[in-house]
Structure 1
């Protein structure tokens, strides 16, 4: 390996180490810089002794000790600072750049603007289907705008992202989709596919702004994966808590003859739903270092449960008779299960310490991917059998394409995980593959939204 290539590999390893250390709650940015300087000094000393860059990096990191131990040591030495980090809004001098109060104000402004957009949409459109179709488009632009402000995305990146996001929005609203006849007309399958895939495409495009325009950065893309998982957790907690409080309030007020039905429909829901999303996103960004302590626990709880679920699903599909008789709804549910498993895989990898050697949980992760591959293979066989017997339709083709995309992702993930648990590959390769493959999902979602409707005659 040439000197420049070896230097690039070393800088990449140091960048990954720095990104992981910086997410520790007890370690400030200045501490990270001090630790990085010490790490580089150790590497230089080891290289002068004859080690190559990669060997010197591994030895230097080992000498510095476990990151968990380092974090605990910093917590003991800087307990006052750690407690201040757990406060909702710390002092401005503790946070570089815009103060947390200013960030809170900007987030609330975007949340209010999203609520106004939803209110205008529901007030101007009488068609419930049109409202459902456009609801994500009324909220996600404001979340993306907050991403752009928070992460200082360049205006050129914002402009290009906005133009790209406009294309699926126009397609979903302007394509001449057929409606099923009857007293209650419903959209055809191509319309349903476009409606369900367009928000996925917009979410992945919003990730470009979350990276601050540095969408080629592996670390930035993995941060967005981590952000998405933590956002789901916060949003679920806020939603459940709000439902409990709202239910108690309605019960109490109804006893005295005060009913909130009109207020709920006209004001609370239009402003509450986007507000909960924006507040959850702000909390994730504000407390990301604290939430990360929860992430490894959640992945270790749900990974074995997901493995058991996949094995049960696989047995159910195999004993259900010939694959040609497998129910279509069952195949749809299996696809949803595979997507859920993929999300768990991504979140587990994003929460793992990349410098820790392989252990029992990594073997469990490999078993989960293997079970997912088995379910995917059975589902693919059933889909191909149904297509051979009944022909291609929009939903069958979409399901087949999604399973093929998942198959490639899972096969290479299994291969890389196998190499990692056998200590022949670094974990960085496993992690990098996840983020490198994300654009494939964006491309597939764009194909379903933009090409499927005309190919299948908008039926």
Structure 2
């Protein structure tokens, strides 16, 4: 390789590194320039000592430390930026970013307004929000999530192919939700109401990664997006609850009954619009709230680990099996979902270059405990199905537990290899992101196939 080729390759590495640093919202352009100057000085010094350009670059980057640590240092030095990020979405000194931020706000408001309008349109055809609970229970996600996906597609600009696929999937969800002859008291209706929103959320994930469909990192970003979106949505729901309480109080003080207005306008319109606003907040304020979820993960991982281990010890001590009924199935499914969420979000928030530590061992114990409980639940479920036959509920629950069992089993193996220093962290990350389509396939299977297979009972 010639000297010119070496310089070109080094500059290409600097370019990639700079693009990576620019994704950190805590760091402004001047911070990136300062870091790059420091990095270039370090690389030049190492090259002058006889190292090859690529070796010098790798060593210099490693010496600088992780971006998380650098971001924290800059945040401590410029703490006033946090409040600016909380209040404003654009960079005051960057007209390009400021212009993009204003367009984001406009598009977000259009999508949020569209969601609020769409949830009221059925009333024109005699479907009241408080009168037709079945219709809104199976369709509520269809009034909100397509608008959130539309906002994400506008930001990603993926092209016609992914956009057409998204429209087809949302259209398919609308067809099965409204064409299937569902009875309000049927198991099929409950499955549609609980599984269709998750299936559609994974379609939102397709919109999120539509600019780079094959990237494992983009899928991990979607996992992070999901956690942060949920945090924002809960915060807005709490604030909305306070607002509704005040509305009741102040209108009641003047003798005006506001129940119908709040119940049929404020609640449904506010909820579907909030799903879009929460997505916008995650997109434009990354780095402001994203530190909350990792903290919660650190708190609840040991608590859930102790709880699951205590449960397993109790089963072994008294020898009693798990009594499976519908409520118990829902509880265990939620428990396993929470464990998986703790694992996924801790992975998405973890620095891939960080050394193995006690928290990784704790996560391994948590996943092993969840795997053992899942196996016990599956064993009990299989016995009940053999004795009493199949229903839509137990088939859906059985499939979900099998899907989780496969994920947890391989996660245990990868975590064990990582803790024993025989595997790498990216292998765990790749497995979790590659498994997302399996969840999507199963939830769409439940929505599309189980109701007709069981004659919609």
What TM-score, normalized by structure 2, do the two folds share?
0.85
Distance of 1:295 and 1:395 partners within structure 2: 32
**What does residue range 342-357 of structure 1 map to in structure 2 within 5 Å?**
342-357=340-355
1:64 alignment partner in structure 2:
64
Tell me which of 170, 175, 198 is aligned to 2:175: 170
Contact 2:82 2:288 in 1 (8 A): no
Please name the residue that 2:118 is paired with. 117
1:320 shift after superposition: 8.0
| Distance in 2 of aligned mates of 1:255 and 1:299 | 43
Aligned partners of 1:121 and 1:131 also within 8 Å: no
**1:41-67 C-alpha deviation (Å, 9 max, x unpaired):** 959969x8589x8x9887444322243
CA 1:215–1:60 in structure 2 vs 1: closer, same or farther (change >3 Å)?
same
Which residue does the alignment assign to 1:395?
393
Q: Which residue of 2 aligns with 1:341?
A: 339
Q: Report the more deviating stretch, 226-235 or 89-98.
A: 89-98
Q: In the alignment, what sits opposite 2:138?
A: 133
In the alignment, the residues of structure 2 paired with residue 201 and residue 333 of structure 1 have an alpha-carbon distance, to the nearest angstrom, of 20
Aligned length: 439
Structure 1: runs of 5 or more not aligned:
1-12, 180-185
- Structure 1 residues 454 and 356: CA distance shift in structure 2, 3 A: same
Counterpart selection for 1:434 from 432, 435, 442: 432
SS in 1 for 2:288: helix
Could you tell me which residue of structure 1 aligns to residue 301 of structure 2?
Answer: 303
- Which residue matches 1:5? none
- TM-fit CA distance, 1:21: 4.8
**Counterpart among 402, 405, 408 of residue 404 in structure 1:** 402
- 1:71 and 1:252 map into 2 onto residues whose CA distance is 45
The answer for the alignment partner of 2:275 in structure 1 is 277
Map 1:303-342; keep pairs closer than 5 Å. Answer: 303-314=301-312, 323=321, 325-342=323-340
Q: Distance in 1 between matches of 2:18 and 2:30?
A: 12
Secondary structure (helix, strand or coil) at the match of 1:288 reads: coil
Alignment check: 8 A CA contact 1:25 1:82 kept? no
Give the aligned partner of residue 293 of structure 1.
291
Range that drifts further, 21-30 or 349-358: 21-30
The answer to whether 1:378 aligns with 2:376 is: yes
Partner of residue 422, structure 1: 420
Report how far residue 339 of structure 1 moved. 0.9
CA distance in 2, matches of 1:92, 1:286: 14
In structure 2, what is the Cα distance between the partners aligned to 1:33 and 1:17? 12
Q: Tell me, which stretches of 5 or more residues in structure 2 are unaligned?
A: 1-12
Q: Offset of 1:80 from its aligned partner? A: 6.5
Q: In structure 2, do the counterparts of structure 1 residues 344 and 122 end up closer, same or farther at CA, with 3 Å as the change threshold?
A: farther
Q: Are positions 1:99 and 2:100 aligned together?
A: yes
- CA gap 1:36/1:422 in 2 versus in 1, 3 angstroms: farther
Structure 1 position 156, deviation (Å): 2.1
1:201 corresponds in structure 2 to 199
Correspondence list, 1:200-219, <5 A: 200-219=198-217
1:86 deviates by 4.2
Matched-pair contact (CA < 8 Å) for 2:142–2:170 = no
2:245 aligns to what?
A: 247
Q: CA 1:378–1:166 in 2, change beyond 3 Å: closer, same or farther?
A: same
Preserved contact between residue 68 and residue 351 of structure 2 (Cα < 8 Å): no
Which deviates the most, 65-74 or 204-213? 65-74
Q: Relative to structure 1, is the Cα distance of residues 19 and 121 closer, same or farther in structure 2, using a 3 angstrom cutoff?
A: farther
* Residue of structure 2 aligned with 1:144, choices 140, 149, 159: 149
Asked if structure 2 preserves the Cα contact closer than 8 Å seen for 1:144 and 1:206, the reply is yes
Distance 1:57 1:373 in 2: 43
Query: In structure 2, what is the Cα distance between the partners aligned to 1:151 and 1:345?
Result: 27
Distance in 2, matches of 1:230 and 1:297, equals 12
DSSP 3-state at the match of 1:368:
helix
8 A contact 2:119–2:143 mirrored in 1? yes
Partner deviation per Cα, 1:271-312 (whole Å, 9 max, x = no partner): 211122222111111211122332321211111122233234
Contact 1:303 1:344 in 2 (8 A): yes
Contact 1:323 1:385 in 2 (8 A): no
* In structure 1, distance between residues paired with 2:434 and 2:57: 24
Separation in structure 1 between the aligned mates of residue 323 and residue 80 of structure 2, nearest angstrom? 64
Give the direction of change, closer, same or farther, for the CA distance of 1:410–1:325 in structure 2 (3 Å limit): closer
Change (3 A) 1:270 1:58: same
Q: Does structure 2 conserve the Cα–Cα contact (< 8 Å) formed by 1:19 and 1:219?
A: no
Q: Does 1:235 align with 2:254?
A: no
Q: 1:330 to 1:82 in 2, by over 3 A?
A: closer
Deviations, residues 337-370 of structure 1 (Å, cap 9, x unaligned): 1011111211111111111101111111111111
Partner of 1:224: 222
Deviation at 1:391, TM superposition (A): 1.8
